[in-house]
Amino acid sequence: MSKLKFVLIGCGRIATLHVIGYQNNPDAELYGVYDKNISLAKKFAKEYNIPKVYDSYEEVLADPAVCAVEILVPHHLHCELTVQACEAKKHVSVQKPMALNLCECDKMIEAAKKNGVKLKVFENFVFYPPYQLAKKLLDAGEIGEPAGLRYKMTNCGLNSQNAPAAKLRAKMANVDEKLETTGWKVDVRSLAWRVNESLAGGGPIVFDDGYHKFSTIMYMLGDVEKVNAWIEYTPVLPGVCQDAPAVIMWKHKNKNVFGVFDVTSADEMYINSKYYTCDERLELTGSRGIIWVTRCTATLLPEIAPVVMYRDGKLTEYWDMPCDWADSFEASTKDFIQAIKDNREPVLNGEKGREVLKFALASIDSSKKKCEIYLDSYEDKALLKRRKFFGMFRRS
């Protein structure tokens, strides 16, 4: 049986991690790539031994050999490109966040159903092995009944190659020259659209990266009933803001369990990372114990086990698992391939991806309206008029 053929749409920074799941895969191959920057696509294809480079998205969709596409483009293009792919009878994996609003999600879900193809929102955090072990321990009752969840995220900027003006910050902070640079390089053009609300749909931290966290929260403890949030917009460069600091609180549906998502940025803090210089620490509290996951994207605490459990006065450290951020990308890609092969739904299909997006949008709405928002009564966000340059985030 021949391998299923997949095509990457977009060859930006994150695309390098989407290659891993196809390497030495007996069921699928990365058959081609397309990027509007053809020279970038050719360079990417050569580096990763990808056979075909397409001249247009239409050429990809017209190719009968192509089984599915992975859409890795700016958020405002997710809906349009997904619908086009579904109508061409191609299965679709679309990068998070799923879309700019719920209306766009509905169009994507309907297009997939109408054309009998799979729709996956590519969310890798729920495939991160330490999170999966934490979920297994939780579901097995190792810490008793779930009582609460705390998610702490810190964006660290010192000597970071993916933070704006990192060298200037390091100089101003009188950093020891022996302190190595950290994180991977990110093209400034990929940062520009992320701080344009009309293109990104929301801020780069709570809305964009936060989709990972909202998805993980729901993966651990289920659907959310209501949310209350405080989100500030802080300048990082002239004319450019990010949505931090922020605190988001919520109550899970049909259970007396609450959670807190705490977001901070620390421009003068150093963290070791091969990827984004972002630290995540997850704490799950139960009636009998606590589970901590100490890392994900970066590694702030290398001497501490990826997963630690406290129960009955005893600490248990769990080291025996893959814990590189890239491992979660490989597993998520394999889920997409397997869903097509087995004719089943992906782990995060369109309907579930829509619920995660609603959680994110309701959080932003709560902060703007200064009140708690029930997700079942959330009114959808209207799309903004497209702006070509930085679309400043507004408090109201």
Q: Is residue 35, in this structure, part of any structural domain at all?
A: yes
Whether 29 and 138 map to the same domain: the answer is no
Verify that 137 and 120 share a domain, yes or no: no
pLDDT band at 190 (very low <50, low <70, confident <90, very high): confident
What total of structural domains would you count in the chain?
2
**For range 70-89, the mean pLDDT:** 98
Residues 102, 9 share a domain: yes
Percent of the chain with pLDDT over 70: 94
Q: Is residue 76 within 8 Å of 336, Cβ to Cβ? A: no
334 and 300 fall within a common domain: no
| pLDDT tens digit sequence for 81-99 | 999 999 999 999 999 999 9
* 136 occurs within a structural domain: yes
Q: Is 391 part of any domain?
A: no
pLDDT of 362 above 50: yes
The yes-or-no verdict on residue 206 having pLDDT over 50 is yes
In a domain, 392, yes or no: no
Nearest 5°: the CA angle 275, 333, 138 is 80
Phi, psi at 117, each rounded to 5°: -120, 165
- Region label for 239, one of left (φ > 0), alpha (ψ between -120 and 50) or beta (otherwise): left
The CATH number linked to 242 is 3.30.360.10
Q: What tokens does 325 get?
A: 């951020």
* Domain annotation covers residue 159: yes
pLDDT the model gives residue 395: 40
Task: Answer yes or no: do 367 and 225 share one domain.
Answer: yes
Is the pLDDT at 172 greater than 70, yes or no?
no
Residue length, the chain?
Answer: 396
- Who has greater pLDDT, 242 or 136? 136
The pLDDT assigned to 175 comes to 67
Q: What angle do the packed helices 129-139 and 325-342 form, to 10 degrees? A: 70
Task: Identify whether residues 234 and 141 lie together within a single domain.
Answer: yes
Radius of gyration for the alpha carbons in the chain, expressed in angstroms and rounded: 21
pLDDT tens readout for residues 116-153:
999 999 999 999 999 999 999 999 999 999 999 999 99
- Between these two residues, 79 and 163, which has the higher pLDDT value? 79
Q: Closest by alpha carbon to 157, among 324, 328, 298?
A: 298
Q: Same domain, yes or no, for 312 and 163?
A: yes
pLDDT at 392: 44
Let me know whether 183 and 303 are in one domain.
yes
Greatest C-alpha distance within the chain? 62
User: Is 166 part of any domain?
Assistant: yes
Split at pLDDT 50, 70, 90, the class of 271 is very high
5-9, 164-168, 293-297: least confidently modelled range: 164-168
Confidence of residue 248 (pLDDT cuts 50, 70, 90): very high
- Least confident span in 124-128, 219-223, 241-245, 254-258: 241-245
Section 195-220 average pLDDT: 93
Question: pLDDT at position 385, please?
Answer: 84
| 17, part of any domain | yes
Buried-exposed string 7-22: b where 16+ CB fall within 10 A, e elsewhere: bbbbbbbbbbbbbbbb
Q: Are 26 and 145 in a shared domain?
A: no
> What are the beta bridge partners of residue 103?
none
Domain span including residue 131: 127-324+357-377
Specify the CATH number for the domain of residue 90. Answer: 3.40.50.720
Helix or strand run (H / E) with residue 286: strand 278-286
Give the mean model confidence (pLDDT) for residues 256-282.
95
Instruction: Provide the 10 A C-beta neighbour count for residue 385.
Output: 7
Mean predicted confidence (pLDDT) in 63-79: 97
Q: Residue 166: which pLDDT band, with cuts at 50, 70 and 90?
A: low
User: Across residues 373-396, what is the average pLDDT?
Assistant: 74
Q: Tell which phi-psi region holds residue 144, choosing left (phi > 0), alpha (psi between -120 and 50) or beta.
A: left
Could you tell me if 75 and 185 lie in one domain?
Answer: no
The yes-or-no verdict on residue 389 having pLDDT over 60 is no
- The residue-averaged pLDDT of 290-309 equals 97
User: Domain check: are 149 and 279 in the same one?
Assistant: yes
Kindly tell me if the per-residue pLDDT of 44 is higher than 90: yes
Say if residue 253 is in the same domain as residue 219: yes
Residue 80 lies in a domain: yes
Give the pLDDT of residue 238: 74
Res. 177 pLDDT band, cuts 50 70 90: low
pTM of the entire structure?
0.94
